[in-house]
Amino acid sequence: MNSKRTPLIAGNWKMHHGGASGVTLAGEIVALSRSVPHVELLVAPPFTVLAAIAHECDGSKVLLAAQNVHEKDKGAYTGEISAAMLVDSGCTWVILGHSERRQMFGDTDAWVARKTAAALEAGLSPIVCVGETLEEREQGKTLEVVLRQVAAVTEVLAKASLPVAIAYEPVWAIGTGKVAGPAEAEEVHAAIRAALAKVAPALAEKTRILYGGSLKPDNADALLACTNVDGGLIGGASLDASQFGAIARAAEGLAIRFPS
């Protein structure tokens, strides 16, 4: 954690809590947000409940994100949702290029870059997810893969006046209970920041680089304390307000320890 950037703790709800239970969970997160004044909190529920959660979070500091967007602003794209529609629903952020989308729904680097541009154009801040598979890590290709994914969006991010974030999520750590060690995470986060700095030093300074992959209350302190880790993107543990709150409080403790 670095005092130059406000920590961001983001919950990716995936395909859970798409109705009334999502509104209840959002209400619990609004309540806990008051105890972490130095941390930004974000929730990314399913599309179906975005507008209701926007209402629930209104007047609080909890940010609302979608989990994906289509690159076009309107048209014959059955089943898709545009960035303008997400803005209309109350979103200010969107998660892009999550490994589940890359692996199961064919999101490529180029497509993620176009979605990132479309999001920014409509006024949405992106969290662009990057990360290597276990096979790629075992072949020693972690940095090659991650930096290729980052390079695909760097020019687009560099033009953004809105806040932006990159989430480093080793695919082998997502939903598996296996977590990158702090040294492994810091190596990749530092490499991402250095790659951004080569193209746009101001972008490197402002970008929050989040760690994601089995981030839980019991490992949050060690991971969030890494110099280039500016927060977390949390799947499983974000579905429970007490676990999400415990991770947010770990970030709050570190933010207080390293004041700006």
Residues 144-183: x where in contact with ligand PEP by CB under 6 A, - otherwise, as a string: -------------------------x----xx--------
According to the binding rule CB under 6 A, does residue 12 interact with ligand PEP? yes
Among 214, 219, 228, 243, binds ligand PEP (CB under 6 A): 214
According to the binding rule CB under 6 A, does residue 215 interact with ligand PEP? yes
Helix residue ranges, H only, the chain: 20-33, 50-57, 83-88, 99-104, 109-122, 134-138, 142-158, 182-199, 201-206, 217-224, 241-257
According to the binding rule CB under 6 A, does residue 82 interact with ligand PEP? no
Candidates 37, 58, 49, 29; CA nearest to 244 is: 29
Residue 163 vs 212, nearer CB to ligand PEP: 212
Among 231, 235, 243, 255, binds ligand PEP (CB under 6 A): 235
Q: Does the annotation mark 98 as catalytic? A: yes
Q: Which residues have a Cβ under 8 Å from the Cβ of 25 and sit 6 or more positions away?
A: 13, 17, 43, 239, 241
For residue 145, the tally of other CB atoms under 10 A from its CB is 17
Candidates 242, 240, 235, 215; CA nearest to 226 is: 215
In the complex, the smallest distance separating the C-beta of residue 179 from ligand PEP, rounded to whole angstroms, is: 8
Candidates 221, 220, 224, 256; CA nearest to 238 is: 220
First-to-last alpha carbon distance for the chain, in angstroms, is 11
Residues 34-73: x where in contact with ligand PEP by CB under 6 A, - otherwise, as a string: ----------------------------------------
Q: Does the annotation mark 55 as catalytic? A: no
Residue 11 vs 163, nearer CB to ligand PEP: 11
According to the binding rule CB under 6 A, does residue 26 interact with ligand PEP? no
According to the binding rule CB under 6 A, does residue 236 interact with ligand PEP? yes
What residues are labeled active site? 98, 169
